[in-house]
Amino acid sequence: MERGFFYYLSYNLFQEAPSYNQNANYYLVTDIQEVWINQLKQGNELAAFNIYNSYSKAMYNTLIRITSDSEIAKDLLQEAFVKAFGKIDTLDDPKAFPGWLKRIVVNTGVEHLRRKKYVFEDITNEAVELEGHLDDELPIEPETLHNAIKELPDGCRSVLSLHLFEGYKHSEIAQQMGITESTSKTQFRHAKSLLKKKLEGIYAN
């Protein structure tokens, strides 16, 4: 299974957030967004509304990848923004806001996973690698990827999302979710295998 294929998947998923700079791995902050962030620190409610509208879609997509449940993702999104707005005074640099917010959102999603205590499939005797590869240049639509990921089993989907798309190390996933690092790595390979198989089936037609 080729690394380029899954980098291509992550790149396509981020196309739904136009302000995301994939190469530098951070969100760009426009001048007006920086003004809103500074106004938010002063308690400006309109600024809070504008910031929410600017970032909510991308943050919601992150939570959908983690939870695979639209209603739960919506609830967690509200919870994450309340947390962020409640401690906005701790943010020194407005340009760091997107990454700071993203971490709060991901941590909120991880806390939910820990509370839910997902059951991880026993795949000890399962071959998790597939022969062949999917063409890296296929025009895979973000919606197709989201739907394929949502159909993965809860445990391996969560590990895939945290490691591949949110940048968590397997050691961090293991600590956050109460599993071993080996289990995290195995579930990640399992998720890649299932996802690749799903996409091959879709684009083979």
> Tens of pLDDT along 21-48?
333 334 688 899 999 999 999 999 999 9
> Tens of pLDDT along 114-160?
887 665 555 444 433 433 444 454 566 777 877 888 888 888 888 99
The count of other CB atoms within 10 Å of the CB of residue 170 is: 20
The count of other CB atoms within 10 Å of the CB of residue 26 is: 14
Domain ranges of the chain: 20-116
Query: pTM of the prediction?
Result: 0.71
DSSP string, 15-45: GG-TTEETTTTEE---HHHHHHHHHHHTT-H
**Which of 28, 8, 7, 9 is closest to 17 using CA atoms?**
28
Q: How confident is the model at residue 2 (pLDDT cuts 50, 70, 90)?
A: very low
CATH architecture of the domain covering 20-116: Orthogonal Bundle (1.10)
DSSP letter for 164, please.
I
141-149's contacts with Cβ under 8 Å and 24+ in sequence apart are: 141/12, 142/12, 142/13, 142/15, 142/16, 144/199, 144/202, 145/9, 145/12, 145/13, 145/199, 146/13, 146/61, 146/64, 146/65, 148/195, 148/198, 148/199, 148/202, 149/65, 149/68, 149/195
- DSSP H helix total and E strand total for the chain: 9, 2
Looking at the DSSP bridge assignments, the partners of residue 27 are 20
